[in-house]
């Protein structure tokens, strides 16, 4: 037994001596693997704590959903709007979490007001901003909207169709386009220098504009009688494409969100004391439900974070599959 042990001793010694080497190599491999996978950490991919944003129409509806998502994850968000009461209520109610909400009253349908907003913000944020969300939008089709007029006219009767839709007012078209389309153009142009400066101040990142359009803009139908609204959203989507092309050399990206139906003052007609709206009807899309706050939050966090920096001139459709089953879509 002693002889057997003595013969085995060198092997035992070698094994014992090899353990530290194996442990060191294993630790090195683990460190290498961790370094290689660190880039996939969701807290880094979708971090927006470095973001200073402007959200037009950010006090209600989809704009408020976007504001909440950004603020909850550490961003500083300036919200613009024409109604001081709505802005103040949003700041009071949702200025929680690691981010911050700041009211910036203004009217995006006014070129001079947009330029004033950009000038004021340049004083407040000398290092620029990283995100502009052109969300403010209106609908002014009450004269022809089916739900406001006991349904559509007899679509087989040319005279009935003509009479029904001639009730539309040119001034309503003007107002709709001034906010939904012209507002996007002038706001984006006015804030471009701030966006370019903000993007260059953050490593491995580029600033972006996110325009909120609608699936109404890609469907061939009248959006239940809302010709002006649907046409304005089609125009908004295309303006986004042109802006993306124009801003390439400035290092600023432009993407578009074209949502399906989400609860908002536009879709429900009202909001509560927390600036929230509720939909009571049943959704007809494949998902069987309307869009939620978390659906919109996921979309904006992706586009605003480093995870979305490889995306430019893209259109996102958070619509529950609505465009999938609409034969007249796209």
Pairing of strands 100-103, 315-316: unpaired
Residue 244 forms part of a structural domain: yes
Q: Does 233 participate in catalysis according to the annotation?
A: yes
Contact predicate 228/141, CB 8 Å: yes
Residue 16 forms part of a structural domain: no
Q: What is the pLDDT of residue 284?
A: 78
Q: Does 229 participate in catalysis according to the annotation?
A: yes
Average predicted confidence (pLDDT) for the chain: 88
Q: What is the pLDDT of residue 4?
A: 46
Contact predicate 117/134, CB 8 Å: no
Q: What is the pLDDT of residue 229?
A: 95
Residue 15 forms part of a structural domain: no
What's the total number of domains in the chain? 1
Angle at alpha carbon of residue 180, lines to 197 and 136, rounded to 5°: 65
Instruction: Give the domain range for residue 277.
Output: 42-140+175-325
Residue 4 forms part of a structural domain: no
Q: Is residue 330's pLDDT more than 70?
A: no
| Catalytic residue from among 233, 264, 305, 317 | 233
Q: Is residue 2's pLDDT more than 50?
A: no
Residue 163 forms part of a structural domain: no
Q: Does 22 participate in catalysis according to the annotation?
A: no
- Percent over 70 (pLDDT), the chain: 83
Residue 109 forms part of a structural domain: yes
Is residue 125 very low, low, confident or very high in pLDDT (cuts 50, 70, 90)?
very high
Q: What is the pLDDT of residue 121?
A: 98
Residue 275 forms part of a structural domain: yes
Angle between helices 84-94 and 61-72 (to 10 degrees): 30
Residue 131 forms part of a structural domain: yes
| Catalytic residue from among 214, 216, 223, 232 | 214
| Catalytic residue from among 78, 94, 185, 229 | 229
Residue 187 sits in a domain whose CATH number is: 3.40.50.720
């Amino acid at each position: 037994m002693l002889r057997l042990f003595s013969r085995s001793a060198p092997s035992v010694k070698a094994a014992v001596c090899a353990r530290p080497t194996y442990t060191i190599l294993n630790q090195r491999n683990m460190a290498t693997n961790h370094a290689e996978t660190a880039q996939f950490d969701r807290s880094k991919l979708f971090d927006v704590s470095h973001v200073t944003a402007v959200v037009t129409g950010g006090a209600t509806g989809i704009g408020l959903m976007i504001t909440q998502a950004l603020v909850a994850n550490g961003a500083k968000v300036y919200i613009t709007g024409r109604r001081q009461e709505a802005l103040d209520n949003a700041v009071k109610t949702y200025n929680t979490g690691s981010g911050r909400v700041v009211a910036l009253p203004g009217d995006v349908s006014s070129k001079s007001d947009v330029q004033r907003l950009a000038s004021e913000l340049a004083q407040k944020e000398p290092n620029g901003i990283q995100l502009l969300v052109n969300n403010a939008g209106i609908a002014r089709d009450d004269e022809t909207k089916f739900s406001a007029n006991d349904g559509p006219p007899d679509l087989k009767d040319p005279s009935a169709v003509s009479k029904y839709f001639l009730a539309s007012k040119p001034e309503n078209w003007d107002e709709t386009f001034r906010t939904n389309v012209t507002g996007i153009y002038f706001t984006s142009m006015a804030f471009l220098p701030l966006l370019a400066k903000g993007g260059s101040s953050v490593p491995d990142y580029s600033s972006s504009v996110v325009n909120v359009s609608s699936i109404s803009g890609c469907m061939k139908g009248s959006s239940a009688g809302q010709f002006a609204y649907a046409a304005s959203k089609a125009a908004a989507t295309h303006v986004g494409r042109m802006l993306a092309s124009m801003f390439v050399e400035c290092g600023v990206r432009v993407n578009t969100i074209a949502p399906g139906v989400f609860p908002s003052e536009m879709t429900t007609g009202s909001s509560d004391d927390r600036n929230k709206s509720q939909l009571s009807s049943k959704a007809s899309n494949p998902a069987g439900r309307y869009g939620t706050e978390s659906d919109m939050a996921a979309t904006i966090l992706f586009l605003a974070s480093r995870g979305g920096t490889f995306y430019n001139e893209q259109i996102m459709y958070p619509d529950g599959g609505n465009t999938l089953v609409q034969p007249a879509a796209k």
